[in-house]
Each structure stands twice: as C-alpha cells, then as structure tokens.
Homo-oligomer: A and B are copies of this chain.
Amino acid sequence: MKTVAIIGTGLIGASFGLALRKAGFDGSILGVSSSRAIAEAVAVGAIDRGAPLAEAAAQADLIFLSQTIGRILDTIRHLDALVKPGALVTDAGSTKSEIVDAAMQNLSRCQFLGGHPMAGKEKRGAGAASADLFQGQTWVLTPVEAGELDTPAAIDFRNWLKRIGARVVALDCDEHDRIVSLTSHLPQLASTALAATLAERLKESQTAVAGSGLMDMTRLALSSYDIWRDILTTNSEHIERALAGYIQELEHIRENLRTRQLQEEFARAARFAASLRR
C-alpha cells in the first residue's frame, strides 16, 4: 500500500498513523476528521495532512475507519462510490456484527475486512496517541470467509499489523461480539451498576471507609456514556444474555450466603481470575 486514509484521527486513528510511521511506512497518510482533530493529528506527526472524505478515499489503498461505531456505519453507507477500486477498507469499531452487515450491504467496489484493535487509554484524542499503543496487543480481524484474509491487499495490511507489534486474531464477527460482551461490556455495566447502587445508599462522608477493592471496582464507572451508547445499542442481544447470566449468578450467591455452596463459587472465580493473569 502507498496511500493510507485514516477516517477519524482520535486516539486510535492517530496511534495507527504513528505506529505505521515508526514501523517504516513511507507512503502518504491522509486524515479525514474535524479541523481541530486534523490539526492535532498533524501536530503529533500521525498524518501528513487533512483531506475531504471523497479526496482521501479516491487515493487510498487502505481506508482505516477509526470513528465511533455510529459514524463508521454512516461512512460505510456513503463510501462505495468514492473508493479506488480494489482498495481495502477496515475499521476499529468495538462491536462487529452491525458494521460487517452494513459493509456487506453497501460496499461492492472494494474489499471490507472488519477489525478491532484491543487497545485503548483513558485519555482521548491524537494528543494522547502513541506509536506503541498496539504493541503486544490483540488485533481482531473478522472475515466473513477465511479467504478474505489472503487477498493481496489483506496480506499487505496484516504484514503492517505485525510490524506495528499487534497480535492478529481472526474471529467470526458474532463470536467476537459475544466474547467482548463478556470480557468488556459486562465488566463496564457491572462497575456502573455498582457505583450507581452505592451512590443511592451512601453519604459522601461514609465513603472514607472505601478500600482499594472498591477503587478497582469503580474505575470503569468513570467512563462516559458517549463512548458506550453505540456499543450498547449495537451489541444489545449479547449484552442482555451476559447480564442475565450475571444476575443469575448474583441471585445464586444471595441465596447461599450462609451455605458452603459459596466455597465453590469463590474457587471457580479465583481460578478464572488467576488464569487471566498467566
């Protein structure tokens, strides 16, 4: 690939540009974003310059959609007429089924390959971007058919992902959405629900008694709804099932507070938590 268009030059998009440069990419990197985001991305060296979507799409061999899920869906609906034939379009949306569906319905002049880099930071924007953000992190790709990973454009893209240090994992998009509903979306809602439950029942002076466990358990609750709205609406079926399973487990614990049954739950939970840390 010679020209890359990054649509949405926030934390992920700008980090992708910086990572490509650090890995030796010497082609052109165009950014499509608000004028403020473009200025920030140019300033940190993540892109060469800003361009309108039509101009960037017409030149790019790789189009990287690193916007919010809602905007990725919107861009996909307008992109087909603008692309260079044979270009590869990929994305960084944190749910995949709706995006892949939209791409199958709307893109025919180019290849689409869904993606989800499992990397992030608490800070947003190109100012927080880092060339090493994807180093050692999982980057999920969600081909509809396995052959999609082996087109020349996809091989080229995967090679660049390796060069920036990402560990590429191929997953079915529905299976991806099920897994992240458990590993990411459920923990977020468990934290938000915990903080909301406590907010109703404690005066501020009573939280002086808070230990480090409560701090761990409420860190995700600091997240803003703006980031989560699209995730919750585009993955609601899997999230509903995950929540139902969690509620069932909590009911089981509640009914067995005084019994030895809980020993088993604690042991199972501790084994799982330990396995995450290996």
Contact = CB atoms under 8 A, between A and B. Distances in A.
Contacts of A190: 190, 194, 217, 250
Nearest to A250: B193
A191 B254 contact: no
A255 to B, nearest CB: 9
In the complex this chain forms, how many copies of it are found? 2
Q: Which of the four size classes fits the interface of chain A?
A: 35 or more
A136 B140 CA distance: 45
A123 B249 CA distance: 28
A223 B179 contact: no
A273 interface: yes
A124 interface: no
Interface of A: 118, 120, 138, 140, 167, 169, 179-180, 182-184, 186-202, 204, 206-211, 213-225, 228-229, 232-233, 236, 239-240, 242-247, 249-251, 253-254, 257-258, 262-263, 265-277
A11 B205 CA distance: 28
